[in-house]
Structure 1
Amino acid sequence: MNSKTIIKGRGAQLNVPNRFFQLSHELRDDFLEYCQKEDEDFDKNKTLYLEVFPKTIVNKVESPDVGMMYSMNMYQGCEHGCVYCYARNSHEFWGYSAGLDFERRILVKKDAPKLLEALLKKKSWKANTIVMSGNTDCYQPAEQQFKITRQCLEVFLKYKHPVGIITKNALILRDLDILKELAQHQLVGVNVSITTLSEETRRILEPRTASIKKRLETIRVLTEHGIPVNVMLAPIIPSINSHEILPMAKAVSEAGALSIAHTIVRLNGAIGEIFSDWIKKTMPDRADKVLHQIESCHGGSLNDSRFGIRMRGDGEIAKQINNLVKLARQKYFKGKAMPKLNTTLHEPCKDGQLKLF
């Protein structure tokens, strides 16, 4: 593909058909060729923010191997554009494509703080860590404008309720004041996602995320202020970042991380087509090799829905990856561990203030 037809700053390079729709449209090669000859943009590549009005904001996680019980997402879709993102498929439920729409049609839930507060005040609610975000990044670029994540953190602090955070954006440091207060009561744990130490790889794999330098600095700053950090080395992609496991583990440990977790990439649903199209355009010399190695980790398929296996994979390559992560833990995280969050402070605070008796 000619470089002029590469959509810069995006992970996905196409809008795959929504599986729930009978009709779809496609960009024909002759149209793209015409645009190129006429020096016209075939795609304006703009991000749209669309407000939605959900009735609830906290979801119970039914999957037995995700590692969280409750999650909440202030935004649906994510401008970070990570091409491998498992959350892409969820955009189809909203009537959009898992491809470019996922990165350019961001659904904004401005009522999230009110919905969260209503839940935490319920007499029937028992404190259990709620993770922001189980699906899309709560500190993606939209957060700079809407500040919904910050408002939700204020609610968690008000009601002394434990919260987990998953992000790959240095914007989290904006809320250091609230995070420090939560950490004083052992009410927050942060998970920073790092998939590579190579800026070249990051730019094409995760085009609108914070640089690796900024992410490592984020870990350092959070740690210096007593905020516990786990690092998600996820996903590990054979022949793209699998050779970086030990260097990444060493770097994040030196930055102050207390632990690491990992998954092996799986390309369920529309993500298989999105990723395959992307790698053939961005890494044509190794595209077939990478795709075949991913398949070898999941029983010969790009996708994998087997509970207990899908996150870690099987086969020789998966075994090598899992063994390297095990070695990394032994080498760089011996004696370290993430603290358990405090669930005992919330009950007396359901009216918004701590009771003395």
Structure 2
Amino acid sequence: MHGPAIKGRGARGYLPGRFETTTTEAVDDGWAPPEADTESGPDPLRPRTQVHEETARSIITRNNSPDIGFSQSVNPYRGCEHGCSYCFARPSHAYLNLSPGLDFETKIFAKTNAPDLLRRELARPGYRPSPIALGINTDSYQPLERKLQLTRRLMEVLVECRHPFTLITKNALIERDLDLLQVAAKQDLVHVHFSVTTLDPHLGARLEPRAAAPHARLRAMRNLHEAGVPVGVMFAPAIPWVNDHELERVLEAARKAGASSAGYVLLRLPHEVAPLFRDWLQAHVPDRAEHVMGTVQQMRGGRDYDSGFGTRMRGQGRYADLLEQRFALAWRRFGYADATTRPVDCSRFQPPRPPSPQGELF
């Protein structure tokens, strides 16, 4: 994967997935000059986003992980054009025989039947409501959403059924759906969290190339708060010696923008994410690369990642303990301890009516 950083992309190449039986490597045989790439095929330094429509068989994903604060989630997209170099969801593209590197951020799968599937699953006689987290594996407000509006259509179903839901995003595009969010908020049906990794736009452009700039996320947070929508902030991921020094500044800025809740997650490097992130470090902060990974391994039992419940989000050891103490102090100092956020209400749920050939009389 060694090569120049690609503008607007987080990965520098097509790292093979862990299930691949063969790998390919491009070699310049001298027959065509590099400038001919745009004539003969795609420019490797400017890979285009390809969108694939997918007909999903189910849409609600369930989990019983003790360190995750929700049991149900809906992801309208697979892959994410935001291109975050550290994204824990990148390995999921390996199940599609695609690269967790550039393929993850350039080959996006849109579940175009997601709203209809959601309506059908909510109408099942045995369904019991619990908050649905929208866009957990990949951001439900990634750039493609502006055109396809799958997240908005899912939200329309949830609001219609008075079903509680939560959102976490890096994109200010969420302001487009303020009308639906306000309706949901008036009935205690929604919480919105913004993932804010840094306040430095230059670092943000390298860490999260196609996500909204930090100031745009804070502006969207403030606008939602002023419209009556409860908002919170996630400082995620906390990366040693890259953005960890900004934890207090991010929490303070978010509190001023109206955030009433806050959390943080330590950098997670499962499967192919570890070599991809190592490559990102070499491309953007080579002077700190070894120091960063050395600290990560100190918190992960000498490995790049520890997937154990209770430790995967926080890590272990002196650095992890210090980060936790810093967060707790900032949480109290900036008034999060005094802020009140009402829990989402599951009692209002009304199952959608199945379609009837006789139509609706009432």
* TM-score normalised over the length of structure 2: 0.92
Q: 1:45 to 1:321 in 2, by over 3 A?
A: same
The one-letter code sitting in structure 2 at the alignment partner of 1:335 is D
> Given the superposition, is the C-alpha separation of residues 31 and 181 from structure 1 closer, same or farther in structure 2, using an over 3 Å criterion?
farther
Q: Which runs of 5+ in 1 are unaligned?
A: 353-357
Name the SS for the 1:263 alignment partner: strand
Secondary structure of the 1:338 match is: coil
Q: CA deviation at 1:24?
A: 1.1
Establish whether residue 339 from structure 1 lines up as the match of residue 342 from structure 2. Answer: yes
Amino acid in structure 2 at the alignment position of 1:230: G
Report the alpha carbon displacement of residue 278 of structure 1 after superposing the two structures with TM.
1.1
SS at match of 1:300: coil
Matches within 5 A, 1:195-206: 195-206=197-208
Aligned to 1:24: 23
**Does structure 1 retain, via aligned residues, the 8 Å contact 2:2–2:279?**
no
| Separation in 1, partners of 2:33, 2:293 | 31
Asked whether the 8 Å contact 2:80–2:142 carries over to 1, the reply is yes
The 1:315–1:35 alpha-carbon spacing in structure 2 relative to 1, beyond 3 Å, is farther
Secondary structure in 1 matching 2:117: helix
2:52 alignment partner in structure 1: 50
User: Could you tell me how far apart the structure 1 residues matched to 2:33 and 2:349 are?
Assistant: 59
- Summarize deviations over 1:228-270 as a string: whole Å, max 9, x none: 1111101100001110111111000010000111111021100
**Secondary structure of residue in 2 paired with 1:83:** coil
Q: Which amino acid aligns with 2:347?
A: T
Q: CA deviation at 1:39?
A: 8.5
Confirm whether residue 63 of structure 1 aligns to residue 65 of structure 2. yes
Deviation, 1:2, is: 9.8
Measure the CA separation in 1 of the matches of 2:170 and 2:321. 27
| Cα distance change of structure 1 residues 163 and 44 upon mapping to structure 2, 3 Å threshold | same
Q: Percent identity?
A: 39
Which residue does 1:239 correspond to in 2?
Answer: 241
| Paired position in structure 2 for 1:12 | 11
Q: Deviations over 1:168-214 (max 9, x none)?
A: 10000000001100111010110110000101110000000001111
Find the partner of 1:311 among 305, 310, 313: 313
1:264-343 equivalences under 5 Å are 264-332=266-334, 333-343=336-346
> What is residue 110 of structure 1 aligned with on the other side?
112
Residue 97 of structure 2 aligns to which amino acid in structure 1?
G
Q: 1:27 to 1:331 in 2, by over 3 A?
A: farther
Spell out, residue by residue over 1:70-118, the C-alpha distance to the aligned partner (whole angstroms, 9 max, x if none).
Answer: 0010000000000000010111112211111000000001100000001
Pair 329,45 (structure 1): closer, same or farther in 2 beyond 3 Å: same
* AA partner of residue 330 (structure 1): R
Looking at structure 2, the residues matched to 181 and 110 of structure 1 have their Cα atoms a distance apart, in angstroms, of 25
Query: How many residue pairs are counted as aligned between the two chains?
Result: 349
Q: Which runs of 4+ in 1 moved over 6 A?
A: 37-40
Q: CA deviation at 1:287?
A: 1.0
Q: Corresponding residue for 1:146?
A: 148
TM-score of the two chains, using structure 1 as the length reference: 0.93
Query: Which residue of the partner structure matches residue 157 of structure 1?
Result: 159
Q: Deviations over 1:294-349 (max 9, x none)?
A: 111111111111111111001111111111111111111121143210101114x4
Deviation at 1:63, TM superposition (A): 2.1
| One-letter identity of the residue aligned with 1:309 | T
Which whole-Å deviations, capped at 9, do the CAs of 1:141-191 have from their partners, x for residues lacking one? 010110000101110111110011111100000000011001110101101
Inter-partner Cα distance in structure 2 for 1:98 and 1:280? 18
